Chains A and B, each alone.
Chain A
Amino acid sequence: MPIEIPKDKWPGSVRKVTVGATAAEGGTRAKTVTVGGQTTMPYLQYEALTPNTPVVAIEIKSRKPEDWSPLLVETWGDAMSDPAQWAKKAEEAGADLIVLALTLEDSADDAVNAVKSVLSATGLPLIVWGPGQAEKDNDLLVPVAEATKGEKIMLGICEDKNYRTIVATAMANGHLVQARTPMDVNLAKQLNILITDMGLPADRIVMDPTTGALGYGIEYGYSVMERLRLAALQGDAMTQLPMMVTPGFEAWKAKESKVGEGVPEAWGDWAARGIHWETLTAVALVESGADLIVLRHPESVKRVKEAIAELMVTA
């Protein structure tokens, strides 16, 4: 019995965005990463091929974090006190990009030094996050952007309260931005409009629609991503950007991953649970359209990359 498979024909597509620049392109990266370009809902290869493989970044910090789960501290060990070493280990663990998160304790010099040491330790493209307080973000990200002109770093995290300075410095120094909004299609569009209105080309923006961890609101992020991708395919220009999510950050904040003692017995083995929590959060978001996934644990990186590779296989 011949079956006519219903295929969606979409007028729109997702933009391609490239992070990092090689020597030939004015940077120092050994390779660049390109995401986006889809013309279908995630991985429906029978409808149209997925042009760029979604990628995984590993999050490291400029200083050893005090509040990370002991499971992560055990895994990364001494490398956590040295961002260059940490970045190298992250590259070995399979990262396609590095996220370097700066902290409130960093001075502008500390921040620039940390970024430079990471750039020389690995050839991977880089994403740099400010500490998340508008003023401090500006104090650190501007000098970092200037000191790395032309590297096509992604600067973040741009939110409605802090985007202006970050976008201005990204424009001036040839970088990209990560645009985050709280799980809302219209807010995502609006921030993209504000950013492009300042003059940053849309192919230098990756949107971050925010996610919650498994058990802590993942369903909102999951559905907002599906809705954003549907809007993009329907032709809404200000949603046609690749999406990035931070399941590592969210999942390792959850009690399930963070804490080993004093939890219900039914939660099972702590180490295995931590990995499941991060991996399953990430895999669900991969299914809903994530192009760039930021993780923390090497084992989750392995599992999520394997899943993506399997989803990319074409018959």
Chain B
Amino acid sequence: MALSGIQIYKLLPHTNCKECGFPTCLAFAMKLAAKQVELSACPYVSEESKKQLAESAAPPVRLISLKANGTEVKAGNEVVMFRHEKTFYNKPGLFVRVKASDADISRKVAEADAYTVNYVGMDFTIDGFAVEADGDASTSSAQSLGAAVKTVRSISKRPLILIGDPATLPAGLEACSGEAPMIYAADNSNWEAMAELAAKYKAALVVKGESLEELAELTQKIQAKGVEDMVLDLGGKNMGEWLSRSTQVRRLALKANFRALGYPVIAFPGNVGDPARESVYAAQAIAKYAGFVVLDTFAPELAYALLVLRENIYTDPQKPIQVLPGIYEINNPTADSPALVTTNFSITYFSVANEVEGSGQPAWLIVTDAEGMSVLTAWAAGKFDAERIAKAVKEFDLASKISKKRIVLPGHVAVLSGELEEELPDWEIRVGPREAVDLPAFMKQAL
């Protein structure tokens, strides 16, 4: 949490020497609070004050970034408990876990890595892989983690989480050296060795504890060893306990500026051991503050649902997802192709565009500026009326593209046709079906 001007003032020398260019230390403090000047403008701030000021400028939830070969996943930097208060920023990374000893590892990684799905014009993929050294800490499993990481690397460029212990992890870390992976996990028994590994390989470190107290103590001890990039595994025996802990951690970070837990959280829905429940755990993790979500089940239908949920929860509530207004060409339309009118809300645009495209029939799609609202919402809010539609038709110069002056309205706004005839006197106004699914048949029969 940022300090107020008065709080900053308390940390300044109180000499009013004016060297910073301001008449008093208080005036300088106010400018600092407003982030309009740099602290370095005052030559007399004590080291101790500098440290405190730097800490207060740090985000309440530390930004953690995993990198590999030009790909990156970020978590943290969140500032609110509820998305309507501002927005959630960094979408939780979706990782798929594979076990080092799994003979099928290449196929599994290849399938998940190649996965891409389009949702309202955006291509979504999973973010990375968690590779686990299963078996005991013997040399053979240490080597197998290294081999497994090499296998994964031969297929995927996505960031990695390596799961193991201080004995097994080095081989894995060597196999992806130069990247910024994450390692799992430091606990009460091994934190020193894990911290050393994290420092040596510049890896982020997951810290695991069965209570928040235990976690906070561990993160402080690890931080004292010079490791800053940490992520919390909250444990939890059921959804309720996990929700409580995750909420407490977010609240402590945001409301109490509690540094020891000011880190993103990682969730392992797959630990529940049943794919049906795994999907539900993952949904909760996405909605309630996870920064990383590690799945054991990769299935396209589940990945799609979770990626869409994540997109929805992390959409900025101030800005609906929208497309640019304009004339869109579908299936190479010609002068004889019909012209359809819709709004620039992404979901609306794509439900229409996808139906028409799928039918193979060419059309011009006139996307009016309805401030990113659906047909009926925009109509009810006065953002999709005859005037706006007429303006779009003229502005985009539809007449120059088609031979027959005719436009088709969405069935839900049939009431607009009268007014639109007045606005566009030499145009034929047709009313289409209410739902986009019925458009192809309508186009075939009626246009």
- Chain B, residues 249-268, CB within 8 Å of chain A (1/0): the string is 00110011010110000000
Say whether A280 contacts B347, CB under 8 Å: no
Instruction: Give the interface centre of A45, A255, A307 by most chain B CB atoms within 10 Å.
Output: A307
Say whether A272 contacts B244, CB under 8 Å: no
Question: Which of B38-46, B55-63, B97-105, B297-305 is near enough to bind chain A?
Answer: B297-305
- Chain A, residues 294-309, CB within 8 Å of chain B (1/0): the string is 0000010001101100
Which residues of chain B come closer than 8 Å to A265, judged between CB atoms? 300
Q: Does A11 contact B (CB under 8 A)?
A: no
Please tell me which one of the listed residues A1, A41, A311, A315 contacts residue B239 in the complex, with CB atoms under 8 A apart: A311
Say whether A315 contacts B119, CB under 8 Å: no
- Chain A, residues 258-285, CB within 8 Å of chain B (1/0): the string is 0000101111111011001101100110
- Chain B, residues 274-309, CB within 8 Å of chain A (1/0): the string is 001101100110011000000000011111111011
Which residues of chain B come closer than 8 Å to A287, judged between CB atoms? 243, 283-284, 287-288
Say whether A284 contacts B287, CB under 8 Å: yes
Say whether B283 contacts A280, CB under 8 Å: yes
Say whether A227 contacts B84, CB under 8 Å: yes
Say whether A310 contacts B239, CB under 8 Å: yes
Say whether B300 contacts A267, CB under 8 Å: yes
CA gap between A2 and B252 in the complex, in Å? 13
CA gap between A6 and B261 in the complex, in Å? 13
Q: Does B143 contact A (CB under 8 A)?
A: no
Which residues of chain A come closer than 8 Å to B283, judged between CB atoms? 279-280, 283-284, 287
Say whether B280 contacts A303, CB under 8 Å: yes
Q: Does B140 contact A (CB under 8 A)?
A: no
Which residues of chain B come closer than 8 Å to A10, judged between CB atoms? none
Known contacts A3-B258, A5-B252, A283-B280; is-contact A223 B116 (Cβ 8 Å): no
User: Nearest residue in A to B315 (C-beta to C-beta)?
Assistant: A219
CA gap between A109 and B244 in the complex, in Å? 50
Q: Does B248 contact A (CB under 8 A)?
A: yes
Known contacts A273-B305, A314-B240; is-contact A6 B118 (Cβ 8 Å): no
Which residues of chain B come closer than 8 Å to A303, judged between CB atoms? 276-277, 279-280
Say whether B280 contacts A279, CB under 8 Å: yes
- Chain B, residues 85-124, CB within 8 Å of chain A (1/0): the string is 0000000000000000000000000000001111100000
Known contacts A266-B116, A276-B305; is-contact A43 B260 (Cβ 8 Å): no
Q: Does B358 contact A (CB under 8 A)?
A: yes
Say whether B216 contacts A1, CB under 8 Å: yes
Please tell me which one of the listed residues B118, B217, B317 contacts residue A1 in the complex, with CB atoms under 8 A apart: B217
Which residues of chain A come closer than 8 Å to B248, judged between CB atoms? 5-6, 46
Residues of A1-42 contacting chain B, CB below 8 A: 1-6, 41
CA gap between A266 and B84 in the complex, in Å? 31
Say whether A45 contacts B240, CB under 8 Å: yes
User: Nearest residue in A to B251 (C-beta to C-beta)?
Assistant: A6
- Chain B, residues 346-368, CB within 8 Å of chain A (1/0): the string is 01000100000010000000000
Which residues of chain B come closer than 8 Å to A214, judged between CB atoms? 305, 308-309, 312
Say whether A307 contacts B317, CB under 8 Å: no
Q: Does B213 contact A (CB under 8 A)?
A: yes
Interface of A is mostly: helix
Known contacts A3-B213, A214-B309, A280-B309; is-contact A266 B304 (Cβ 8 Å): yes
Q: Does A216 contact B (CB under 8 A)?
A: yes
Say whether A6 contacts B305, CB under 8 Å: no
Q: Does B313 contact A (CB under 8 A)?
A: yes
Which residues of chain B come closer than 8 Å to A283, judged between CB atoms? 280, 283-284
Q: Does B212 contact A (CB under 8 A)?
A: yes
CA gap between A313 and B251 in the complex, in Å? 21
Please tell me which one of the listed residues A6, A219, A269 contacts residue B317 in the complex, with CB atoms under 8 A apart: A219
Say whether A264 contacts B213, CB under 8 Å: no
Q: Does B427 contact A (CB under 8 A)?
A: no
Please tell me which one of the listed residues A3, A266, A307 contacts residue B300 in the complex, with CB atoms under 8 A apart: A266
Which residues of chain B come closer than 8 Å to A6, judged between CB atoms? 248, 251-252, 255-256
User: Nearest residue in B to A302 (C-beta to C-beta)?
Assistant: B276
Say whether B240 contacts A310, CB under 8 Å: yes
Say whether B213 contacts A266, CB under 8 Å: no
Known contacts A6-B252, A306-B280; is-contact A313 B240 (Cβ 8 Å): yes
Which residues of chain A come closer than 8 Å to B247, judged between CB atoms? 41, 44
Say whether B304 contacts A267, CB under 8 Å: yes
User: Nearest residue in A to B316 (C-beta to C-beta)?
Assistant: A219
Q: Does A73 contact B (CB under 8 A)?
A: no
Please tell me which one of the listed residues B117, B239, B309, B315 contacts residue A266 in the complex, with CB atoms under 8 A apart: B117
User: Nearest residue in A to B123 (C-beta to C-beta)?
Assistant: A266
Q: Does A215 contact B (CB under 8 A)?
A: yes
Known contacts A5-B252, A277-B305, A306-B277; is-contact A269 B300 (Cβ 8 Å): yes
Q: Does B136 contact A (CB under 8 A)?
A: no
Q: Does B151 contact A (CB under 8 A)?
A: no
Nearest CB of chain B from residue A47's CB, rounded to whole Å:
8
Nearest CB of chain B from residue A38's CB, rounded to whole Å:
14
CA gap between A272 and B299 in the complex, in Å? 10
Q: Does B238 contact A (CB under 8 A)?
A: yes
Known contacts A266-B300, A276-B279, A287-B287; is-contact A315 B241 (Cβ 8 Å): yes
Known contacts A43-B240, A279-B280, A303-B280; is-contact A284 B313 (Cβ 8 Å): yes
Nearest CB of chain A from residue B345's CB, rounded to whole Å:
9
User: Nearest residue in A to B279 (C-beta to C-beta)?
Assistant: A276
Which residues of chain A come closer than 8 Å to B288, judged between CB atoms? 287
The 8 closest A-B pairs by CB, nearest first: A268-B301, A268-B300, A273-B301, A266-B117, A310-B239, A276-B305, A223-B84, A310-B238
Q: List 14 A-B contacts (CB under 8 A).
A: A1-B216, A3-B258, A5-B251, A41-B247, A43-B243, A214-B312, A219-B83, A223-B83, A268-B302, A272-B299, A280-B279, A280-B309, A283-B280, A310-B238
6 other A-B residue contacts (CB within 8 Å) besides A1-B260, A222-B313: A3-B212, A43-B240, A215-B119, A266-B117, A280-B283, A299-B276
